[in-house]
Structure 1
Amino acid sequence: MSPDVSSLRYRAIAGAATLAKPAAAALGISVSQIPPHHTLTSLSITHVQFSQNNFLSKLLAYVTLSPLGIICSYVAIVLTSRDLKPLVMFAGQLANEFVNQVLKRLFKQARPTEYLGDGYGMPSSHSQFMAYFATYTAILMYRRGGASDGFLPHLVSGCVVLWSALVVYSRVHLYYHTWQQVVAGSLCGIAFALGYYYIVNSVLRPQGVFDWIVNLPLAKQFYVRDTDAIPDLAKFDWEMWQQHRNADHTKQE
């Protein structure tokens, strides 16, 4: 780098620092407390880089953040419903992430670009996350059965699978993973979802594990329930609400 360019860069940084001092003083922050820019880093979970002038790239940057929204939805549903069914699915999602981290450290395969993402790239954690989510959701939708469901299981499952596919594609489009890494992540997520569902419903549930959980004093205190045996929970809740509503009307009369 020529002396003139170095001098200009130094003056630019010095000028920016000079302009920042009044703003820091107005906020009551000592300039010495502000860390230098070269010592800072980004949280890779929320920091997504994309091509600025490419609309598809920008759109996929939002799509690739979907797992964060799903995690928030899990927590909200578990806290509001106090139902073991979504809690079990969420526990599987977390276990699936743990397996992904173990596999990454086992394969130790680098990402296609050194400056995008932290850690190893094989298998893709986003792909494994979404594949588990889509597979388990589809299983739950088709397991309900019943003629009253009509086209709903196909619609929900199709939308979730399409959503998952978009997230998987976004990881390749944004150069965070190779096709081999996202395919491996997707296969791992599908396999884990099938295996986890089998263990939950063919091993743990027949052994009465969930009956034991809901009968715990702490679970009773927080009104924890297990609605796995109810085919249509929305219809069940609606019927209970109707009974409560009719009882109130009877009392008023």
Structure 2
Amino acid sequence: MEEYPPLASLSLTHVHYNPADRISYICAWLALVPQGLCIVYATLIWSNREIEICLMFAGQLGCEAVNWILKRYIKEERPREMHGKGYGMPSSHAQFVAFFSLTLTFFLLFRHVPHPTETHTPFTFFQRLLLSLVTLAFAAAVASSRIYLNYHTPKQVLVGCAAGAVFAVVWFGFTTVLRRAGWVDWMLDTRLARTGRVRDLVVQEDLVDSGWARWEERRVRRRLEEKKRR
């Protein structure tokens, strides 16, 4: 009888939770947020080609690299109740969402200055602040879920949040220097960036309104042509 090699589980989306506990079930879905955000990153980069999103994603990858190094340097085990593999200090989920939420908050409050147009009024500063608070609260929920599911101790989650927050501050400062020194403009003028249609509009242009004026102009022109044909 032919023997097959033992199978392994791909732990990327393999989450342990208590099926009798609804909160545990919700926490299991929250554990998939980092993977979902990576899909959002890839989708936005492909569809919008915005340099700001590319820079944020580059920082997110850098933050993950720092987490990988810290885990293998500290070598602290996960809680005893956890059946998974790998080190637990610091929590990669907590570090991921802390960086994402804080970087998005810094962008919305300090870098994003959208101008109103004839067709759209962008979010006010208060609305952007409210959105930032919602993002931070959502990040806190993801981080807390790691404790509830016994994947990490509270200390591991707190250190992960701190590491993500520190890296977010450092990365935002770094990208600010790149912008003020003209390096971002230089990157956008390179042949590679122009071939990839990379642009820098989201700082002053609301994503909701992006391309809307051109679409409205095209739609009105098409309607007028249809009336003339009648």
Q: TM-score, normalised by structure 2?
A: 0.85
- In the other structure, the counterpart of 1:85 is 52
CA-based RMSD: 2.4
Matching of residue 171 in structure 1 with residue 146 in structure 2? yes
- In the other structure, the counterpart of 2:168 is 193
* Higher gyration radius (CA): 1
- In the other structure, the counterpart of 2:211 is 237
Identity of aligned residues (%): 35
Q: SS of the counterpart of 1:109?
A: coil
Q: Identify the match of residue 222 of structure 1 among 193, 196, 199.
A: 196
Q: Mark the runs of 5 or more structure 2 residues left unpaired by the alignment.
A: 115-120
- In the other structure, the counterpart of 2:90 is 123
Partner amino acid for 2:201? T
- In the other structure, the counterpart of 2:186 is 212
Q: Identify the match of residue 103 of structure 1 among 70, 73, 87.
A: 70
Partner amino acid for 2:9? S
- In the other structure, the counterpart of 2:117 is none
Structure 1 residue 239, shift from structure 2 partner: 3.3
Structure 1 residue 85, shift from structure 2 partner: 1.1
Partner amino acid for 1:139? F
Q: 1:102-142 CA deviation, whole Å, 9 max, x = no partner? A: 11112111111375332211110000000001101111221
CA separation in 2, counterparts of 1:47 and 1:164? 20
Partner amino acid for 2:43? A
CA separation in 2, counterparts of 1:233 and 1:47? 34
Q: Identify the match of residue 108 of structure 2 among 141, 151, 169.
A: 141
Q: SS of the counterpart of 2:35?
A: helix
Partner amino acid for 2:208? A
Q: TM-score, normalised by structure 1?
A: 0.77
Structure 1 residue 247, shift from structure 2 partner: 6.1
CA separation in 2, counterparts of 1:240 and 1:33? 63
Partner amino acid for 2:190? L
Q: SS of the counterpart of 1:61?
A: helix
CA separation in 2, counterparts of 1:210 and 1:145? 17
CA separation in 2, counterparts of 1:52 and 1:246? 54
- Between 135-144 and 241-250, report the one with greater CA deviation: 241-250
Task: Could you list the structure 1 runs, at least 4 aligned residues long, displaced by more than 4 angstroms after superposition.
Answer: 145-148, 243-253
- Between 114-123 and 42-51, report the one with greater CA deviation: 114-123
Q: 1:68-127 CA deviation, whole Å, 9 max, x = no partner? A: 100011001100111111111111000000011111112111111375332211110000
Partner amino acid for 2:109? Y
Q: SS of the counterpart of 2:101?
A: helix
- In the other structure, the counterpart of 1:12 is none
CA separation in 2, counterparts of 1:251 and 1:207? 48
Q: 1:233-252 CA deviation, whole Å, 9 max, x = no partner? A: 43353334445556667888
- Between 226-235 and 48-57, report the one with greater CA deviation: 226-235
**Preserved CA contact (<8 Å) 1:230 1:236:** no
Matching of residue 76 in structure 1 with residue 54 in structure 2? no
CA separation in 1, counterparts of 2:10 and 2:158? 25
Q: Larger helix proportion, structure 1 or 2?
A: 1
CA separation in 1, counterparts of 2:3 and 2:187? 49
Structure 1 residue 55, shift from structure 2 partner: 1.3
Q: 1:162-217 CA deviation, whole Å, 9 max, x = no partner? A: 21111111111111100000000001101111110001112x12232222222222
Partner amino acid for 1:112? P
Distance 1:52 1:249, change over 3 A: closer
Q: Identify the match of residue 154 of structure 1 among 118, 129, 154.
A: 129
Q: Identify the match of residue 56 of structure 1 among 12, 23, 28.
A: 23
